[in-house]
Amino acid sequence: MSEIIDEKIEGLFQAVVKRNPGEVEFHQAVREVLESLGPVLVKYPEFGEHKIIERICEPERQIIFRVPWQDDRGQVQINRGFRVQVNSVLGPYKGGLRFHPSVYLGIIKFLGFEQTFKNALTGMPIGGGKGGSDFDPKGKSDSEIMRFCQSFMTELYQHLGEYTDVPAGDIGVGAREIGYLFGQYKRITNRYESGVLTGKGLDWGGARARKEATGYGAVFFLNEMLRVRGQSLAGKTCIVSGAGNVAIYAIEKLQQLGGKVVACSDSNGLIHDKKGLDLALIKQLKEVERRRIEDYVFHRKHARYVAKGNLWEIPCEVALPCATQNELNGKDAAKLIKNGCLAVAEGANMPTTPEGVRAFLKAGIAFGPGKAANAGGVATSALEMQQNASRDAWDFEFTEKKLSAIMTGIHQRCYETAEEFGTPGNYVNGANIAGFIKVAKAMVALGLI
Ligand code: NDP
Ligand code: 2IT
């Protein structure tokens, strides 16, 4: 990369920081992509002339709104809602909604930015966006969740539509919340517009395998990374952070492919079960009873629960961070490498800090970044949109096969792009470059919009 390009990219990054003060996660996500783009600007000088980077770093539209709702005691509560519509040159804005108290504009913008390149990598006709609220679903009753979702949608509906913007789930938003959101959208608009939300229940327009798709997809991607290195999952000791939607189905697919998963976590602590995790028990605790993973050890006496424990200190050959951003830092990466970890696939969005990513790349382990490895969720959302548009419902096996083929395709795209741009085996560069080029070419083709 020439020094002039280096300087130009640094200047562009500094302008993003200045323009978006305090949004540290957004800065981090932008920096990581821009660091891969030097050789792209050399090969495609037109991207510079069209100011593609400057335009891509400025979302097309950012919506921030008040969400008033009443709790079970009759008290009025106020939260803040967001929808950031980042880029729509490849299709309607597409990306999840996150309900978590840590949510603020910088988190939603980082997620929407990542989503844009992730969605491009899937090869499906979807643009990028993200939304959510600082609402904390923990400890809320079902009626409180419903009232919150109804109020949230009462404001957001005017910005959505099957050809405009199609939200789905993310942290704190699953089929229950999508149900209440869809119900309110339907009521306000008087339209049964199935394609306006994905992650719906199977009885009312949802796609089979969507619930499983992100976790399964991350393992399919991991499996491909191992395959090109002449390895496989069989007999490998694995650890997975989180115990939510992505983590549960990553564990399921790891187990199906012969991996031994010995640990997972939530924001309070971790469970370590040397005999291998009992996934049916975890599903019962998390999906049915909505409890904490701490309760696992009441049922499996030999397992241990470590409050505030560091999952990454548990020796493993395969690690999947599937909880949240920046959950795995440079020290954690060093510990994993020292303990013999061979492969890491990010089920979560940006779970590894830049120091952690650098450590993995330097050590030459197989590292699958989130925008490639966790793209199976949104890809299957696009399959849900496809089924909704044709009023069809495919069976599980057919849908899973499609997901598997999509993940193999994403792996190949990242692998080949990394090679083409002079960094073989570097999936971070592969994913950033392949995703960016696809969006950038469409932006040039569609003119200055
Ligand atoms: P869930 O809400 O189902 O589960 C989230 C899990 O992560 C929980 O175990 C939660 O623990 C833990 N967690 C959340 N926030 C924190 C935090 N600040 N610190 C520590 N642990 C935390 O969400 P998902 O499984 O859907 O999402 C997990 C990750 O995967 C996110 O990064 C999301 O963006 C990403 N992702 C999700 C997709 C999807 O289809 N759902 C698709 C692609 C990526 P606790 O219960 O204690 O909060
Ligand atoms: O981060 C993600 O890709 C998601 N939360 C899923 C988005 C979607 O539209 O299915």
Euclidean distance between the first and the last CA atom of the chain, given in angstroms as a whole number: 30
How many structural domains does the chain have?
Answer: 3
Instruction: Decide if pLDDT at 1 tops 60.
Output: no
* CA of 210, closest atom in ligand 2: 10
% the chain with pLDDT above 90: 98
Cα separation, 222 vs 414, in Å, equals 13
Last residue of a domain, one of 373, 398, 420: 373
Predicted confidence at residue 372, as pLDDT, reads 98
At 376-407, the pLDDT tens digits run: 999 999 999 999 999 999 999 999 999 999 99
Mutate to test the pocket of ligand 1, among 267, 305, 320, 327 (most ligand atoms within 8 A of CB): 267
Instruction: Decide if pLDDT at 282 tops 90.
Output: yes
Token pair belonging to 163: 């050809």
3: confidence class by pLDDT, cuts 50, 70, 90: confident
Q: Name the closest ligand to CA 218.
A: 1
Judgement on whether residues 227 and 368 belong to the same structural domain of the protein: yes
Cα separation, 357 vs 332, in Å, equals 11
**CATH code for the domain of 116:** 3.40.50.10860
Q: Which of 238, 320, 314 is nearest to 276 (CA)?
A: 238
| Residue 401: C-alpha distances to residues 226, 258, 411, 422 (Å) | 19, 19, 15, 32
145 lies in some domain: yes
Give how far the C-alpha of residue 96 lies from the chain's centroid of Cα atoms, to the nearest Å. Answer: 8
C-alpha 111 – ligand 1 centre gap (Å): 13
434 lies in some domain: no
Judgement on whether residues 242 and 339 belong to the same structural domain of the protein: yes
195 lies in some domain: no
C-alpha 155 – ligand 2 centre gap (Å): 21
C-alpha 371 – ligand 2 centre gap (Å): 10
Predicted confidence at residue 444, as pLDDT, reads 98
Average pLDDT over residues 166-185: 98
Average pLDDT over residues 107-126: 98
Residue 35's domain comprises 2-56
Last residue of a domain, one of 373, 395, 428: 373
- Of all protein residues, the one whose alpha carbon is nearest to atom 15 of ligand 1 is 324
Judgement on whether residues 49 and 134 belong to the same structural domain of the protein: no
Instruction: Report the pocket of ligand 2 as residue ranges, CB < 6 Å.
Output: 94-96, 115, 168, 170, 198, 349, 377-378, 381
- Of all protein residues, the one whose alpha carbon is nearest to atom 9 of ligand 2 is 95
Predicted confidence at residue 402, as pLDDT, reads 98
Judgement on whether residues 93 and 237 belong to the same structural domain of the protein: no
Judgement on whether residues 178 and 107 belong to the same structural domain of the protein: yes
At 405-424, the pLDDT tens digits run: 999 999 999 999 999 999 99
4: confidence class by pLDDT, cuts 50, 70, 90: confident
403 lies in some domain: no
Judgement on whether residues 143 and 259 belong to the same structural domain of the protein: no
6: confidence class by pLDDT, cuts 50, 70, 90: confident
Average pLDDT over residues 358-363: 98
Which residues have a catalytic role annotated? 130
| Pairing status of strand 76-87 against strand 128-133 | antiparallel
At 118-130, the pLDDT tens digits run: 999 999 999 999 9
Instruction: Decide if pLDDT at 244 tops 80.
Output: yes
326 lies in some domain: yes
Judgement on whether residues 19 and 52 belong to the same structural domain of the protein: yes
335 lies in some domain: yes
Judgement on whether residues 25 and 157 belong to the same structural domain of the protein: no
At 191-243, the pLDDT tens digits run: 999 999 999 999 999 999 999 999 999 999 999 999 999 999 999 999 999 99
Judgement on whether residues 166 and 215 belong to the same structural domain of the protein: no
* CA of 242, closest atom in ligand 1: 9
Judgement on whether residues 223 and 354 belong to the same structural domain of the protein: yes
Average pLDDT over residues 19-48: 97
Judgement on whether residues 219 and 143 belong to the same structural domain of the protein: no
413 lies in some domain: no
5: confidence class by pLDDT, cuts 50, 70, 90: confident
Mean pLDDT across the chain: 98
Predicted confidence at residue 325, as pLDDT, reads 98
Average pLDDT over residues 93-114: 98
430 lies in some domain: no
Mutate to test the pocket of ligand 2, among 85, 170, 171, 350 (most ligand atoms within 8 A of CB): 170
Average pLDDT over residues 60-64: 98
Judgement on whether residues 89 and 176 belong to the same structural domain of the protein: yes
**CATH code for the domain of 336:** 3.40.50.720
